[in-house]
Amino acid sequence: AVEHLRVNQSAQLGKRDIRTGLLNLSGLQEFVDHEFERSKRHSTELCLVVLDLDFLRDVNNGYGHQVGDLAISSVAKQISAITRTIDGTARIGGEEFVVVLPDTDLESAVAVAERIRVGIQSLVIETAKGTPRITISAGVALRQMNETYSELFDRADTALYESKRLGRNRISLADEFVETFQANQINTN
């Protein structure tokens, strides 16, 4: 029984990002598989938020990589503090994060994304060289009927890049279809 528990704990740790404690790609895929099936079975809404730290390279260059790492950890804590326990939160790359929001309509997903954006903008990381400004850009998409995770991610990611193009530290919405994407900027100022 003890060995089974150790194996199970090890398997769960293998689904977590070491730096942040959020899901890693493997853990995210398992979560997505489960929630997409549940959403389909119960005809419930599901939204995806893709977030990326703005100008992390400048933080690393100006304050050092340890501060950049601290920024990533602080952002992860903020995302975890704002999201529900039923939400899937993951770090999928250096400074890129995903939040899967089961049983969530688009308006509520935008509200969550905005709370995350404001919370991260409010983070204070004091260093000997000053306090870096930490902000994120985000893209939000509502899953369409029979849409795959890859398709949903592409729409949210495209909206994220529209947020960056529009000046960063903002949220953009994905259109319903990738082919006709036009991000709808949300005024966050």
Residues with active-site annotation: 95
Please give the structure tokens belonging to residue 159: 């909206």
Query: What gap in Å lies between CA 67 and CA 61, rounded to an integer?
Result: 10
Question: Sheet harboring 88-91: ordered strands across?
Answer: 88-91, 96-102, 46-53, 136-142, 171-173, 184-186
Beta-carbon contacts of 124 under 8 Å, excluding residues fewer than 6 positions away, are 131
Place of tokens 């991260």: 120
Across 32-86, the runs of DSSP E, i.e. the strands, are 46-53
Beta-carbon contacts of 159 under 8 Å, excluding residues fewer than 6 positions away, are 50, 138, 139, 140, 141, 172, 173, 174, 181, 183
